[in-house]
Chains A and B, each alone.
Chain A
Amino acid sequence: MVLLRYYINISALKRASNEPGMRLNHQKAPGTGTLLSWEEIRREPSVFDDRCTRTTLRGRTMDAGTGNSVGAVRRSKEDRKVLRKQLKASHTLLKHEGIRTTPQPTKTLVVANGGLGNGVSREELSAALGEMGELETLIMHPHKPYAFVTYRSEESARKAHVRLNGEKLECRESSVTLYLSYVNSVTCEEEVSVPLPDGLVLVEDFVSQEEEAVLLAAIDWSSTNDDFTAKKALKHRKVKHYGFEFRYDNNNVDKDKPLAAGIPQECLPFLERCVKNKHIDILPDQLTVNQYESGQGIPPHVDTHSAFEDTILSLSLGAMTVMEFRHPDGRLVAVVLPGRSLLVMKGESRYLWTHGITARKFDTVPARGPQSPARTAPDLSACSNLTLSKRDTRTSLTFRKIRHEPCGCAFPSACDSQVAPLAPPPPSPPSLPCCHADAALLEEEYVHRVYDAIASHFSSTRHSPWPRVCHFLSTLPAGAVLADVGCGNGKYLGVNPEVMAVGCDRSSALVHICAQRGFQAFVSDALRVPLRTASCDACISIAVIHHFSTQERRRAAVRELVRLLKPGGRALIYVWAFEQEYKKQRSKYLKEHPEKHSPTEDAQTGSSQEAHGESSIHTSRRLEDLQDATESKLSVHTNRTAFNTQDLLVPWHLKEGKKQVDEESREGERKDETKEKSQKTNTGFGSGLDTSAKPSASGDTTPTCGSALKSESEISAAPVFHRYYHVFQQGELEQLCGQEAGVTLQSSYHDQGNWCVILEKALGTDL
């Protein structure tokens, strides 16, 4: 028996060490095998589970087995496995959460893996727990991989412990294995009620279900070209205007050109009710209808002062959502907008706070109960009565009154009518360039200058080579000549010491980091690489081409890579994908969300990912033009959320020297302590060691993972840089490469939020 246990431990160790990114914590608690680090737990919420075989333990009893001896051995082996996992869970809870479990039965249990952080909803868990007895309380903190349940009687708790420990709980589209342990006390925080922004009023049940149906039916979406797939592909909310056109290119209204269609008659009863209840004095004359599918949102904004009068009415139909209000001083208030509720924005909430809806598929909201408030505390940790709410299609009707005189509000800092005399006008967001010169200027401002400024910080966050890139590099024959175009900090130059690797990058600061690490690199542009034609056996371009701001330049970058290749040579290209979720898998970029609102699991099917790169170009309806107009002004992306547009500016928060959570670790940043080959001094050419060179800069050592829990205001205090990206849709990279002569597509895949291709240059080509 002792031998058997030893065997199990060893194989678990082996499995664990073979998995990429797995670190073994060598501290062992008595009676347990290997422990997983907090990193692994955070990445893999159900890490308490046995990864390899899921044994269904239904019908298992704790009694000694009956029947043949083989059956008895098998049961007790499973029992021991469950016990082992439970102990492991207990130990982890103690180590990382300070939760002390006790072997003595109590009324309260901690349920490992039964947390909001595992994608388990309150309803699902309480249903399972409720079968064991009457529940007194169920506490689920957001983003935690556990819950606390207190039963009315210890008897019920014991029943739960016996029956549910090691059992699978089927949730929506995933399942978790629960491990229960007794606890003496529960860590609980007080609920804090947060006031709504000044001037904001929420009225629930403002329209009846019948009225809701009538209003939804009144919106005629058919006049817009019904290219359903294109819309899905672009993941944009649908928009329709009545009364006056709202223009997204200047964020204002064409007051001289009223639309043919005014506000639909069906809205009159609703509007009359608003007047009667004193929400407005004057009837609005402009209506904007937004339809949000799950996963869609709208970036934070203030409705243009000069376009509309003070009061803005917004009616939510079809589904609930969470709208976030942000004050310039950093305060964030998340407001739950139930279906059929009316939101009235006036004064400060209309003129100063921005409002937006984060594009996501699940919201963390207070559970329905007698005292569940409509609004939540900004960081939700103060509220323990929470559950996950899956988004559904929501249609909002926003009614506004056109303003004909300049705005004279009390919030000049946000007012486009009242320009502060001495302050320079705020820089207008850049637009997409239409010629090379403009493109070069845009890239200079939003790519090159940024990388030079953030180089060392950037380099410190780019230390883990991606496995599939490494694989490509490892397949190169010894003595191959490799060019890394856009080599950054030289991350890949040392991966295969058998090849002659040379890197080039546009950022002199990053190239210097390569040199410090002993690699050969030079400064150049990816569009004009000063290497001879057909001089390379292989090229890689990892996360580079998405920085080019026109399709022509992106194509030119591909062409340059192809030029460098010898006939038969191969190029590997990685670009950031518009679709951050692929085949149900969210990319690491999305998973590691520093804000506390995002769900950690998503159950949306992959079918909605079928993007058709072509169709968005061909549709030419006016609404599409509006969307294009929106896109031609580059908007700033919210880090770690799904993309709304393909061309965008991505923030980089610079922190000098300190530990910094990599806010956009779209790479598999494991932040581990594995010694990298590149940190050893070497020539970068081969296994020859450059012993007289300086040792690799200490700045390259991997910083340990800092706390992810920075408050909003902390983040906003650090300098922010914006990098331009054109994120690629599915198929777009293939198409781009397909246009190049003399090269064939060897392979095309999605890797952690990137679209990737391997190209091979045809033999007998002369370029």
Chain B
Amino acid sequence: MKLLTHNMLTSHVKGVVKGYPLLIKATEVKVNEVDFNPQFVSRMIPKLEWSALVQAADELGQREDLPGELVPEYENNEEFLKKVHRVLLEVEVIEGVLQCPESGREFPISRGIPNMLLNDDEV
């Protein structure tokens, strides 16, 4: 699970109001090498919840010097985009859990895949 995906995921447990962002508890993290496409990264940024990304990167110890706030005019800031690229697309959680911040319910991540299935009573 990459952090770009994590940024979109939310807890959908019944009754939960604030299910986003999911907390990450990772036991295995990989950093891959992914071709850098500045336009793509730049287009992704407006779709993100920036603070959630920073928080997730922090939790994984992969934040490095990613700023807490979006840098203005980032579209042409290659250095910044590279940092974002790394955190969004290169960092990958292989094993761990995602935890609902409100209910505490844990969703396992196994072989890079989060399993978000709820039980019947949670739906």
Binding site for B on A (CB under 8 A): 437, 440, 478-479, 481, 498, 500, 502, 504, 506, 508, 511-512, 515, 520-525, 527-532, 535, 683, 685-693
Known: A520-B4, A693-B32. A515 touches B113 (CB 8 A): yes
Residue on B nearest A522 in the bound complex, by CB: B114
1/0 per residue, CB under 8 A from A, across B2-14: the answer is 1011001111100
Is B117 an interface residue when CB atoms closer than 8 A count as contact? yes
Task: Tell me, rounded to whole Å, the shortest Cβ–Cβ distance linking A59 to chain B.
Answer: 62
A688 near B1 with CB under 8 A, answer no
Known: A479-B40, A479-B47. A690 touches B32 (CB 8 A): yes
Give the residue of B8, B33, B40, B43 whose beta carbon is less than 8 angstroms from that of A535: B8
Residue on B nearest A691 in the bound complex, by CB: B33
10 sample A-B contacts, Cβ–Cβ < 8 Å, listed by A number: A500-B4, A500-B44, A508-B115, A520-B4, A531-B9, A532-B20, A683-B2, A686-B37, A689-B34, A690-B32
B-side contacts of A532, CB under 8 Å? 8, 10, 20
B32 near A515 with CB under 8 A, answer no
B113 near A688 with CB under 8 A, answer no
Give the residue of B37, B89, B118 whose beta carbon is less than 8 angstroms from that of A525: B118
B-side contacts of A498, CB under 8 Å? 40
A-side contacts of B35, CB under 8 Å? 687-689, 691
- A616 to B10 alpha-carbon distance, docked (Å): 41
Is B101 an interface residue when CB atoms closer than 8 A count as contact? no
Known: A520-B2, A531-B9. A525 touches B36 (CB 8 A): no
Give the residue of A481, A508, A523, A683 whose beta carbon is less than 8 angstroms from that of B8: A481
Q: What is the predominant secondary structure among interface residues of chain A facing chain B?
A: loop
B-side contacts of A685, CB under 8 Å? 2, 4, 40, 44, 89
Task: Tell me, rounded to whole Å, the shortest Cβ–Cβ distance linking B119 to chain A.
Answer: 11
Task: Tell me, rounded to whole Å, the shortest Cβ–Cβ distance linking B91 to chain A.
Answer: 12
Task: Tell me, rounded to whole Å, the shortest Cβ–Cβ distance linking B76 to chain A.
Answer: 16
A529 near B12 with CB under 8 A, answer yes
B113 near A512 with CB under 8 A, answer yes
Task: Tell me, rounded to whole Å, the shortest Cβ–Cβ distance linking B19 to chain A.
Answer: 8
A479 near B44 with CB under 8 A, answer yes
Give the residue of B9, B36, B40, B44 whose beta carbon is less than 8 angstroms from that of A522: B9
1/0 per residue, CB under 8 A from A, across B31-74: the answer is 01111110111011001000000000000000000000000000
Extra 6 A-B pairs, beta carbons < 8 Å, given A523-B114, A686-B41: A479-B39, A521-B113, A530-B11, A686-B37, A688-B85, A691-B34
A-side contacts of B5, CB under 8 Å? 502, 520, 522
A692 near B33 with CB under 8 A, answer yes
- A498 to B111 alpha-carbon distance, docked (Å): 26
- A512 to B115 alpha-carbon distance, docked (Å): 11
Residue on A nearest B100 in the bound complex, by CB: A530
By Cβ-Cβ distance, the 10 closest A-B pairs, closest first, are A479-B43, A686-B40, A524-B116, A688-B35, A688-B34, A689-B35, A523-B115, A522-B114, A530-B116, A692-B32
A-side contacts of B33, CB under 8 Å? 690-692
Count residues of chain B with CB under 8 A from any CB of chain A. Answer: 34
A-side contacts of B43, CB under 8 Å? 478-479
B2 near A511 with CB under 8 A, answer no
Task: Tell me, rounded to whole Å, the shortest Cβ–Cβ distance linking A435 to chain B.
Answer: 12
Task: Tell me, rounded to whole Å, the shortest Cβ–Cβ distance linking B51 to chain A.
Answer: 14
- A688 to B84 alpha-carbon distance, docked (Å): 13
Is B120 an interface residue when CB atoms closer than 8 A count as contact? yes
1/0 per residue, CB under 8 A from A, across B89-119: the answer is 1000000000000000000000111111110
Give the residue of B37, B111, B116, B123 whose beta carbon is less than 8 angstroms from that of A687: B37
- A531 to B114 alpha-carbon distance, docked (Å): 13
B-side contacts of A689, CB under 8 Å? 34-35
A530 near B12 with CB under 8 A, answer yes
A530 near B9 with CB under 8 A, answer yes
Task: Tell me, rounded to whole Å, the shortest Cβ–Cβ distance linking B92 to chain A.
Answer: 9
B-side contacts of A520, CB under 8 Å? 1-2, 4-5
- A520 to B33 alpha-carbon distance, docked (Å): 16
B-side contacts of A523, CB under 8 Å? 113-117
- A506 to B39 alpha-carbon distance, docked (Å): 33
A-side contacts of B89, CB under 8 Å? 683, 685-686, 688
Task: Tell me, rounded to whole Å, the shortest Cβ–Cβ distance linking A513 to chain B.
Answer: 10
B-side contacts of A500, CB under 8 Å? 4, 44, 47
- A565 to B8 alpha-carbon distance, docked (Å): 13
Residue on B nearest A508 in the bound complex, by CB: B115
Residue on B nearest A437 in the bound complex, by CB: B120
A528 near B111 with CB under 8 A, answer no
Residue on B nearest A523 in the bound complex, by CB: B115
- A686 to B118 alpha-carbon distance, docked (Å): 30
Residue on B nearest A440 in the bound complex, by CB: B120
A508 near B10 with CB under 8 A, answer no
Residue on B nearest A537 in the bound complex, by CB: B47
Task: Tell me, rounded to whole Å, the shortest Cβ–Cβ distance linking A527 to chain B.
Answer: 8
B-side contacts of A686, CB under 8 Å? 37, 40-41, 44, 89
- A564 to B1 alpha-carbon distance, docked (Å): 20
